Amino acid sequence: SLAAAWGIYAVAERLYGAVAGVTAVALWAVLPVGIVQSMAYSESLFTALAAWALYALLRERWVVAGLLASLAGLTRPVGMAVTAAVLVGVALAARRERRLTPAMAAGALLSPLGAGAYVVWVGARTGDPLFGYLSVQEGWGNGFDGGLAFARFIGSLLAGPGFWGGLGLVAGLALLAWLCVRCVRQGQPAVLLVYAGIVVVLAVCASGYFGSKPRLLLPAFPLLLPLAVGLARWGAVRRGLLLAGVGLLSAGYAGFWLNASGPP
């Protein structure tokens, strides 16, 4: 978690200044779903690798970015989001400079190796080199259906006794869409937009259990940068009081669903 927080700060500080960097880390820390970082999930490790890979891209350290993207791909399937960011960053830099340097090529070639190696390993373990990985995911009820299962879940809530919960989910999706739009209007670098966009799409459009979606969105920290920049303009006391209050509310909410059946 510390490495992830430091990586988020590094990205935000380089783009928007130190105050925005600290605020972005604080916002990420007070997310209600942040409690999963105390569990045996890989979100913290993946976020750390992704954040530092994005920072390397902003610094045009292509080989470092490629290596970190490869490690991120070994951590979680959504590592493809980091790989895509590296490829986009290399393509844009090559177009701008009208040449592809050896470092750019190395970074691009390194970035998908981790995810690819993991898929090959799973295929070898399952005895099905082509579809072994997909079979394992299917066994867990995971897949990509474009959000149909999630839409049906929300629809069932709206049509039944869980109406207010369904309405809350609709509001949450609207907020998520608003943040995505704000990131674009903020003029975030393309590598951040590509990374966050893929993380969001894979989380929202996956067919798995709804309770995992907030956790899957945790690595999408660029969505917090518009809020961080806005709060950075506030006075330190006012900003601190707001973040402390949100932190207390988030801790109470996290404690509630941690000891219940999961996120409502």
For residue 58, is it within any domain?
yes
Structural domain of 107: 2-258
Q: How many residues does the chain have?
A: 264
pLDDT category at 147 given cuts 50, 70, 90 is confident
What's the total number of domains in the chain?
A: 1
Token pair, residue 174, equals 């609207």
pLDDT of 264 reads 44
Say if 263 falls within a structural domain. Answer: no
Residue 264 belongs to a domain: no
The tens digit of pLDDT for each residue in 201-250 reads: 988 887 766 667 788 889 999 999 999 999 999 999 999 999 999 888 88
Token reading at 226: 């518009």
State the pTM of this model: 0.90
* Tens-digit pLDDT profile for residues 113-128: 998 888 888 777 777 6
Which region among 25-39, 47-61, 124-138, 203-217 has the lowest average model confidence (pLDDT)?
124-138
DSSP characters for 115-132?
A: HHHHHHHHHHHHT-TTTH
Residue 101: helix, strand or coil by DSSP?
A: coil
